[in-house]
Structure formats: structure tokens, C-alpha cells
Amino acid sequence: MNQKKAFYIIITGIVLFVILLGGYFWLSSKKEQAGGAGDLIDYLPFGKSQRGNLPATKPGTKDPITQEPIEEKPIPRLRQLTTYPVAGIQGVSEKIPATETELEKNTPTAIYVAKDTGFIFKQSLVSTGEKKVSSLTIPNTHEALFNSTGTAVLFRYVKPGSETIESYSGKINSFSELSQINNIVGTFFPQNISSTAFLSNGTKLVYGIPSTPSGSIWTTSTSGGSDKKQAFSSAFTEWLVEWPTEGKMFFTTKASGGIPGFTYELNIVSGEFNKVIGNIPGLTSKINQNSALLLFSRSGETGITLNVLDIAKQTVLQTGLQTLTEKCVWAKDMITAYCAVPNSLEIVQYPDSWYQGLVSFSDSIWAINSSTGITKLVVNILSNENKEIDAVSLALDPEEKYLLFVNKKDGTAWSYRLGSSE
């Protein structure tokens, strides 16, 4: 009897174990169909798995508990793109390949260079997520100049252990390929370049180097350094250069408050070098893309005034705004300019005190119609967004839906979505 009884107990135990095991897997499958984790603790009376212990979910997926779609947070109009300083920024159009459900499309994208490493990064302006474009390392990059298409960049930095300014031009290959990190191939340009600029279409650049203690030579080349041609020589070294059209360059004396400044136009074909504007204290300037309109600022101890010169008509439009041209960018219609305008100005010597970092601004963004003279407030960054930004290095994406800039206070990169609030 004892052996039979023991046999029945064993059989009963096995049956009960199989029933419990089957019940567990049945409940687990039901839980998984509902999107849950299937933890055994969920079915016990003394415990329940916590939501915080579930794996993180991505926007666009379903909530594992409620099965409700998780909505992606809208991207704010004013957006901080980096938490670290950048040496330069540009807006480009990135081609996104077609998929089974979507056609090929172009996406507005920001590309920028990290100041501490020289790495190039990109970030879509319509979604989140930063991606590295280049692993080329150039520590302590002081300045990075992109061409208008974002396919070339000129890195400028001080050679370690010296005062020599190095300039390295690199070609950016396939920044639109989402998974590829490119090792940029480029070339070194002559040392101690004083000023440089890309041709507005991005195919060439011009640079100046000292020829004597008081003179300079200006050379054009491709962004890769080939096809070099001397464009101009000067007995003066302190020039800032712009190259808006194939046949014309503009040279402006480096600004200092109270010191008369001049802007000249160089006809590259004929060699003629003619004054455009002069005897303007603290002059800074920015030419538009067809060499017709010149934004210029006059500054000193009494403040700053921003104006527009029609070069052909020799007429001046007073905008009524107080800002420097380094805080402006021309739109591709060649009539509209966007400028970061300080909400207030201290009584100091401009632009010197601002260049030296002795004063800093809190800006609003304004749009200027240089044809009608109408100025329009785009956004007061401080009152609308509760941010204090001293914007420089302004750029637009190709569709001009986003304004990009660098905050001079800390070097971080930002974007602002233009147009309606929708």
C-alpha cells in the first residue's frame, strides 16, 4: 500500500507541475500579445512589475502597457543643436533615399565642426539625432568655413607650439549617406592666411598671405588647392575679403571703432580696384550674392547703425536697426537679409569691445527688405524663448526654412524655424 500510495503521489505531483507550467506559458503568451514583458512576478499576488523597469521605447511605437501609440515630441522652433562649441556651421539639403513606403526626398540638415576635435557632425532639422560625418581629427579648430553646398570645408587652427596659422581644405564625400563616416581627404594651404572666402557658388576660394611686412598677395584656387592664380596684390595687409560673383571681389578694411573704414571692389578681369564706400567709422560690411547691395554698419562710442548701400545708384537705406554685419546673412532672393539685433547696447567702443568679449549681446532676429525698407521682427529670443543668445555665423538651409547660428557666449550651435508657427 505504501508503495502504491507513493506512486500515486508522484504521478499527482507530475500532473500538477505540468498543469502549472502550461498555465504559465499560456499566460505569458497572452501577455506578449498585449505587448508586455511576460514576467512571472506579474501573476503572483504579492508583486507587480513596475513600468520603469520596462525597456525604453522609441517614438512611433506602442506603449507596452496601454497599447496606445507613443507620440513623438514636436521639435521646438528654437533648438539647441549642440552642447559643445563649434567652429563653423552650414545648412545643406540631404538626400534621403526612397523606401518601400516613401519617395526619395531632400531634408534640411545642419552640418558643423566640433571645435575641440575637428570632427564634422550633421543633424536633421526636422528630426532629432546627431551623426558623425568625418573622423578627421584637428584639435582646437579655431574656425571652419564651409562652402555654400557643404561639400568642402576649410579648417583653420594655430599650429601647436607656435603662432603659425594652418589652413587645411577638405572635401566632404557622401555626407548624405547615413551610415558612412568619411575620412576627409584634403590639402594644406599656405601658412598664415590673413583672410579667405569661398566663391558664392562654392567651387573656388580666395586667400591672402603676407608678401612683405606691409603687403599681401591674394590667390584664387579650387577648394582642393589646384588651378592657382594670383588675383590681386596690395601694399596693405589688414583686409577682409568676400567673393560673391565670378568676376568681382570685395575688400573691406578690418574694423575698429572710431577708425575710418573702406570697402573696395576688385574687377578680377580688368584688375580695376575701385572704392565702394569709405570714411565710415568702425565699418563692417557684407555684400549680397549679385554684388549689387552692401550691408554696412557704422560704429563707435555712440553705438551702431546698420544701413544698406545700393552700389549702382549710390543710395543708402537706413534700416533703423543697431547691429553689426557679422550678425547678418543675405537670403537667396538677394533682397532680404536676416540679422541678429541686440535688444540693448552698452555705451562702449564698438565693435572692439564686442570683438574682445568685453561686452555680450542678447539678440532678437529681424528680417530686412532692402527694396522697400521694411523691417520685421522675426522673434525676440529672450522674451519668447527665455534664452540669451549672441548670434554669429548666421546661415540658412537651401529652402530657407531654418536659420542657423552660433551663440558667441559659449560657441554652441542653434537653429530657428522660420515661417508660420505650424
SS (H, E, C) 328-362: EEECCCCCEEEEEEECCCCCCCCCHHHHCCCCCCC
Sign of CA dihedral 184, 186, 189, 191: positive
| Residue 396: all three cell numbers together | 540658412
Q: Which of 348, 305, 353 is nearest to 325 (CA)?
A: 305
Nearest to 323 by CA among 392, 277, 276: 392
Run of H or E including 17: helix 2-33
Predicted pLDDT at 103: 62
User: Where does the pLDDT of residue 43 fall: very low under 50, low under 70, confident under 90, or very high at 90 and above?
Assistant: very low
The residue with cell 532692402 is 370
Is the pLDDT assigned to residue 61 strictly greater than 70?
A: no
- Segment 122-135 shows an average pLDDT of 90
Ordered alpha helix ranges (H), 34-144: none
pLDDT for residue 44: 29
pTM here is 0.81
In this structure, the dihedral spanned by the alpha carbons of residues 41, 46, 50 and 54, taken in order and rounded to 10 degrees, is 0
Residue 249 forms beta bridges with which residues?
A: 266
Average pLDDT over residues 46-58: 36
pLDDT, residue 59, reads 47
The pLDDT, as a whole number, for residue 205 is 96
Q: What is the pLDDT of residue 11?
A: 63
- The percent of residues in the chain predicted with pLDDT above 70, rounded, is 77
The pLDDT, as a whole number, for residue 154 is 96
CA distance 105 to 95: 6
Residue 90 three-state SS: strand
Q: How far apart are CA 244 and CA 370, in angstroms?
A: 18
Mean pLDDT of 190-195: 95
DSSP state of 52: G
Least confident of 24-33, 178-187, 286-295, 382-391: 24-33
- Taking residues 218-242, report their average pLDDT: 94
Q: Is the dihedral of CA 195, 200, 205, 211 positive or negative?
A: negative
- Mean of pLDDT values over 242-266: 96
Q: Work out the pLDDT band at 66, boundaries 50, 70, 90.
A: low
Q: Which residues contact 210 (CB under 8 A, 6 or more apart)?
A: 192, 194, 216, 237
Q: What is the pLDDT of residues 314-351, one digit of tens each?
A: 999 999 999 999 999 999 999 999 999 999 999 999 99
Q: Indicate if the pLDDT at residue 187 is higher than 50.
A: yes
Give residue 40's pLDDT: 28
The per-residue pLDDT for 42 is 32
Task: Give me the residues paired with residue 297 across strands.
Answer: 284, 306
Residue % of the chain over a pLDDT of 90: 65
Model confidence at 273: pLDDT above 80: yes
How distant, in Å, are the alpha carbons of 258, 310, 373, 400 from that of 297?
12, 14, 16, 24
- Cell numbers at 22, concatenated: 502550461
Specify whether the CB–CB gap between 126 and 75 falls below 8 A.
yes
Residue found by looking up cell 513606403 in the block: 101
Q: What is the mean pLDDT of residues 371-383?
A: 94
> Are residues 190 and 167 in contact, defined by beta-carbon separation less than 8 angstroms?
yes
pLDDT value for 6: 58
pLDDT per position as a tens digit, 150-167: 889 999 999 998 999 999
Look at residue 98 and tell me whether its pLDDT is greater than 80: no
Q: How confident is the model at residue 135 (pLDDT cuts 50, 70, 90)?
A: confident
Amino acid at 394: L
Distance, in Å, from the CA atom of 150 to the CA atom of 343, rounded to the nearest integer, reads: 32
- Residue 63 pLDDT > 60, yes or no? no
- Average pLDDT of the chain to the nearest whole number: 84
The cell numbers describing 197, all together, are 572666402
3-state secondary structure of 310: strand
Q: How confident is the model at residue 9 (pLDDT cuts 50, 70, 90)?
A: low
Question: Cell 514636436, residue?
Answer: 74
Q: Largest Cα–Cα distance of the chain, in whole Å?
A: 122
- How many CB atoms neighbour CB 230 within 10 A? 9
